[in-house]
Chains A and B, each alone.
Chain A
């Protein structure tokens, strides 16, 4: 980390220090993943509540087929991305493992979570300063995003395997997921419910990113484009 310089505001100029946080593959994954989730949510919703019926020769149309095709291909991109991202949590930098393996055994991590909750409840005057994610963000990403996505991947592939019939997807997912839930319709319902968990995560994630970009002491949104986290003031960072 570069030498910290005090960020006392002088008229017109201030110094910012920067840390390289998000490596290029992580950034690429983040945006590909975001696009896949957007497509999955929209097409998934339409699969549950199809658009108004169209008329004409069935051989001339493939509307619902395309909706399902988009859902399946976006799902496959999401799966490949997720597998890659998990791999990167081992070979990437320290920040790359945060959301997969949060340091839940550390007291400082939980104190950080409490501090962040107090900060969002507006009980703290000053936010803490993290080069990576703050502890509350890590926790919500780990629980809602990582496990939520894993649930969607497993149930999604199980449902996909139903249409595929015998084969490795059917063997690895469909064969045990459907009996586990009782029947296919129940798996559909849970898969549908979990979509809303992901949607809620996205709302909170985007809101928090915008808010912290404005109110906290470090850059958030631009960091996911450039990879660099800049700090508006000096002083040491708080690590969990």
Chain B
């Protein structure tokens, strides 16, 4: 059945031609493509067989899947699940046990080098990977086997992209993001970070890969530029309050009620690359800052290790439990200043003594 085209699958599922066309033009718009690309997407979906996808789950919380299935993009539930031939996804598939695990071998056999490996979560490397067991074997083995035969890898979410909470200090299981797993073949990897990533971002990335048979343009860190080239801050609707110097000082103050900038209560919008302030969440309804909560920077590398979510300045490790740049630098400057003052006093004493010594000499009293 996997040789069916997307369009055929959709029609079989009762989606009208009209809805299909609408989906294509909306996808083109979401991807930032010109109107002519709607036709290209349409043609691709009508003629290309569905791409088989193995969706593996390592150490993760399934929030990526939860986000993904809530894509409010038109027809998301039907279309997206029909666009890809989701051959394996242990969380949502009907099969279980040996039956489920055999699908991986089957897919590898049938589509060797032609399927997409979607990774949600990451493998722990310590204790020979025993901290994450799938079907009685370390997830690491499953991942390596699938990666050896896949065409390309999608790293869903911050777990697969950066490591996320299970890789936070001190990372006892040595949870490792996909691109850093040793021994993994050099397959192209696209990172779609976020905890979770925005649903529409996930579906748009898949739509792009299907339509053009390649990854969208990636930045230096391997993220699709179309969604991760700007900071939350750059398109934040509270930005005028930031420039004016109007900040929320605490969550129950007048500024919070008036919707001032959340910079002082730790908003990581200025350092976070994601599309939340433009695409937003729950079908474009809202996003954390709009709900009055600072951005925690969940799509950034190591966001768990930067100290409190409600602190402006990051914790600097290695200087006690709580230290930031100002505490460390200010203390160091204070010590140096005090040392200079002591040194100045000592210098004055020395000079006074040598001067009186010189005077003594001059006056012949030495």
* Residues in chain A within 8 A of chain B (CB atoms): 45, 48-55, 58-65, 67, 120, 122, 125, 162-163, 165-166, 175-176, 178-179, 182-186, 188-189, 192-193, 195-197, 199-200, 203-204, 207, 211, 214-215
Considering only residues 328-343 of chain B, those with a C-beta below 8 Å from chain A are: 328-330, 332-333, 336-337, 340, 343
Q: Are B329 and A61 in contact (CB under 8 A)?
A: no
Which of B241, B248, B312, B325 meets A193, CB within 8 Å?
Answer: B325
Which of B243, B246, B314 meets A186, CB within 8 Å?
Answer: B314
Name 10 extra pairs, CB < 8 A, besides A63-B244, A122-B350, A186-B314. A49-B312, A51-B245, A184-B231, A184-B270, A185-B300, A189-B325, A193-B329, A196-B330, A200-B333, A200-B336
Q: Which residues of A contact B300 (CB under 8 A)?
A: 183-185
Tell me if B278 is interfacial: C-beta within 8 Å of chain A. Answer: no
Looking at chain A's contact residues, the main secondary structure is helix
- B202-232 contact mask (Cβ, 8 Å, vs A): 1 or 0: 0000000000000000001100000001110
Tell me if B2 is interfacial: C-beta within 8 Å of chain A. Answer: no
Q: Give the complex CA separation of A50 and B260 in angstroms.
A: 14
Tell me if B306 is interfacial: C-beta within 8 Å of chain A. Answer: yes
Tell me if B346 is interfacial: C-beta within 8 Å of chain A. Answer: yes
Q: Are B247 and A53 in contact (CB under 8 A)?
A: yes
Q: Are A183 and B346 in contact (CB under 8 A)?
A: no
Which of A53, A59, A182, A197 has the most chain B CB atoms closer than 10 A to its own CB?
A: A53
Say yes or no: A58-B221 contact (C-beta < 8 A), given A49-B326, A163-B234, A215-B347.
no
Q: Give the complex CA separation of A11 and B243 in angstroms.
A: 64
Q: Are B340 and A204 in contact (CB under 8 A)?
A: yes
Q: Give the complex CA separation of A49 and B247 in angstroms.
A: 11
Q: Give the complex CA separation of A211 and B270 in angstroms.
A: 43
Q: Are B344 and A196 in contact (CB under 8 A)?
A: no
Size of B's binding interface in residues, CB under 8 A: 54
Which of B242, B254, B303, B312 meets A64, CB within 8 Å?
Answer: B242
Q: Which residues of A contact B248 (CB under 8 A)?
A: 53
Q: Which residues of A contact B344 (CB under 8 A)?
A: 207, 211
Q: Which residues of B contact A55 (CB under 8 A)?
A: 246, 254-255
Q: Give the complex CA separation of A167 and B79 in angstroms.
A: 38
Say yes or no: A50-B247 contact (C-beta < 8 A), given A192-B326, A196-B325, A203-B336.
yes
Which of A65, A120, A162, A199 meets B244, CB within 8 Å?
Answer: A65
Q: Are A200 and B332 in contact (CB under 8 A)?
A: yes
Minimum Cβ distance to chain A for residue B284 (Å): 23
Q: Are A203 and B337 in contact (CB under 8 A)?
A: yes
Minimum Cβ distance to chain A for residue B203 (Å): 25
Q: Give the complex CA separation of A125 and B358 in angstroms.
A: 12
Q: Which residues of A contact B230 (CB under 8 A)?
A: 165
